[in-house]
Chains A and B, each alone.
Chain A
């Protein structure tokens, strides 16, 4: 029995080592959790987290482990890690617009600050990153620039995800122009469009961190 446990432990240890920790990063309300849900639903049949249009809906790091992603006959084992949205400011008064009570808005803001700190700490523990951007908005934000600079300094592979292509204002080319050195995949996480291309890109670029 003890021997069996040791064998299992060794198996799990090496399996864990082989899983690629895929961090989903980006600013708030760019569709990180919508994407994480779609990916998780496609390969495990379960969603990962709640989605809403109120900023900082995801305030805690959410994980889905052992997601076997398949594309074009190739397989890869992932731990999908959905991060709280990065920001340089959080004002609880903004949440009041969404008819949230003042006390709850303050609590939400406090949790959101903790979430951002956690997401930043996780940068040391991810192998590959999907940097999600809202293709209807200007991608040249300091948060995006700082995030990509950190990933480059840590030698972490990154795929830029130009999300919300289902919207009229969408312009994924502005992301390509702003960050020409990275692979960009245009998707609509909400409609589930072009996800196959994203999966192919993940299989192509994802690797364990050194």
Chain B
């Protein structure tokens, strides 16, 4: 039995629209790959990933397992991050471009639910049980 893992740099997805990011991720995962990203998506993007996954669920693809570890920002850094998000949104709105964002600092694992049986998450680590 073989299992494919793709380790993807955030550079690959940074600056892409949400739709393009989700298409890229689901394309890989639907092909059977487990994807490891060196970054995390925004919660809104993650929710859209779930929504888009549901649209693509069929008899051969029951969905995904996803787990992310985000570097928590506090105080001034948190405020700066929020302001930077708003600035990005505003800038994209001005240019009339679809919303493009960069991945935040952290790590995400996304894989097919057919292969990944369980993810045990702790605040700063997670372990994955996969069965091929």
Contacts and interface: CB of A to CB of B under 8 A. Distances in A.
Interface string A113-147: 11011001101000000000000001011110111
A146 B57 contact: no
B68 A150 contact: no
A91 B44 contact: no
Interface stretch (A31-39, A45-53, A69-77, A82-90): A82-90
A137 to B, nearest CB: 12
Contact of A120 (B50, B64, B67, B68): B50
Given A140-B123, A142-B119, A153-B43, A88 B65 contact: yes
Contacts of B121: 138, 140-142
B50 A116 contact: yes
B51 interface: yes
A143 B47 CA distance: 9
B43 A113 contact: no
B46 A146 contact: yes
Contacts of B57: 89-90, 109, 113
A89 B64 contact: yes
B64 A150 contact: no
B99 to A, nearest CB: 13
Contacts of A93: 62
20 contacts: A87-B63, A88-B64, A89-B64, A89-B113, A90-B62, A91-B113, A109-B57, A113-B57, A116-B54, A120-B48, A120-B51, A123-B47, A140-B122, A142-B119, A142-B121, A146-B43, A147-B47, A148-B43, A149-B46, A150-B43
